[in-house]
Amino acid sequence: MSNHELLPADVLRRKAVVYVRQSTQTQVQVNLESNRRQYDLVQEARRRGFQRVEVIDDDLGRSASGTVERPGFDRLVAWLCAGEVGAVLCSDASRLARNGRDWHHLLERCGLVEACVIDMDGVYKPCRPNDRLLLGMKGSIGEFMPTGQGKTWTAHRVSSLRRVRNIHAYKPAEGDGEWLTMSQAATKLGVTNHRIRSLIKQGLLTA
C-alpha cells in the first residue's frame, strides 16, 4: 500500500470509478459531511491523473451486507470484468462490501485486471499479496461492524495489531508511529479485545 506511488500509464488510460454508498436512508439524510467527502473523491481521482471519472451512487441507502440488491455494485463489477476500470475510489475500502462473498469477488476482479483500490488511507493494488492481505483484513472487520459504526483501518493500525498478536505473515509497507497495545488497538477500531481475538481465531483476520 502507498499514498504517493505514481499509477501506471495503463491504469490511468482506463476510467476511475468513485463508489458512493450509505447503508440507510437515514444516513443519507443525516450524514451530509460523509456524502460530501465521498463525492469529493472525484477530485482525488483527477489529482492522481485520471482523465475519465465516473460516479456510482445507485446504492445510497442500501446495505452492503448482501441481503439487498445493489445495482451500483453490480455495475462496478461488470465494468471491472470488461477491463474498463483502472481504479475504484471510496472513502473507506470496507464500504464497498460488508459480506465476504462480494468483497473477495471484487478483490479478485481488481487483481485480475490490475485495477487499484483507493481510499482515504492510500492506494492498494489487489494483485500484490501484501495489499490483498491488508484489504482482506479491512473487509473482515467491515463485515462484523454494526451498520454505521465501522472504523477506518489504516496501515499503521493493522501492522500494530499484527505485531501485538505476534502475526508475522505480513510485512507492512509502512510502519511509522508508536506501537499500540491490544486495548489501544481495540479502542481505536471501535471493537472489543474479545472481538479481535475471536476474528483471529476464526481465521477471519488472516494470520
pLDDT in tens, 29-82: 887 888 889 999 999 999 999 999 999 999 898 887 777 888 999 999 999 999
So what's the pLDDT on residue 46? 96
**Comparing 49 with 178, which gets the higher pLDDT?**
49
Please measure the distance between the N-terminal and C-terminal CA atoms of the chain and give it in whole angstroms.
18
Place of cell 511509522: 176
Q: Is residue 98 part of a domain?
A: yes
Nearest CA to 124 out of 87, 166, 170, 162 is that of 87
Q: Is residue 207 part of a domain?
A: no
Please report, for residues 16, 20, 46, 63, 75, the alpha-carbon distance to residue 36 in angstroms, rounded to integers and kept in the order given: 18, 10, 16, 19, 22
Q: Is residue 2 part of a domain?
A: no
Q: Is residue 71 part of a domain?
A: yes
Q: Is residue 78 part of a domain?
A: yes
Choice among 19-33, 88-102, 168-182 with the minimum mean pLDDT: 168-182
Query: Would you tell me how many other CB atoms lie within 10 Å of the CB of residue 91?
Result: 20
pLDDT category at 101 given cuts 50, 70, 90 is: confident
Nearest CA to 80 out of 68, 92, 72 is that of 72
Q: What CATH number has the domain bearing residue 20?
A: 3.40.50.1390
Q: Is residue 1 part of a domain?
A: no
So what's the pLDDT on residue 170? 37
Whether 171 shows a pLDDT value over 90: the answer reads no
Q: Is residue 148 part of a domain?
A: yes
Domain total of the chain? 1
Catalytic residues: 23
Domain residues for the domain of 111 are: 9-201
Q: Is residue 3 part of a domain?
A: no
Please report, for residues 55, 152, 183, the alpha-carbon distance to residue 38 in angstroms, rounded to integers and kept in the order given: 10, 14, 30
For 40-69, give the DSSP string.
Answer: THHHHHHHTT-S-EEEE-TTTT--SSSSS-
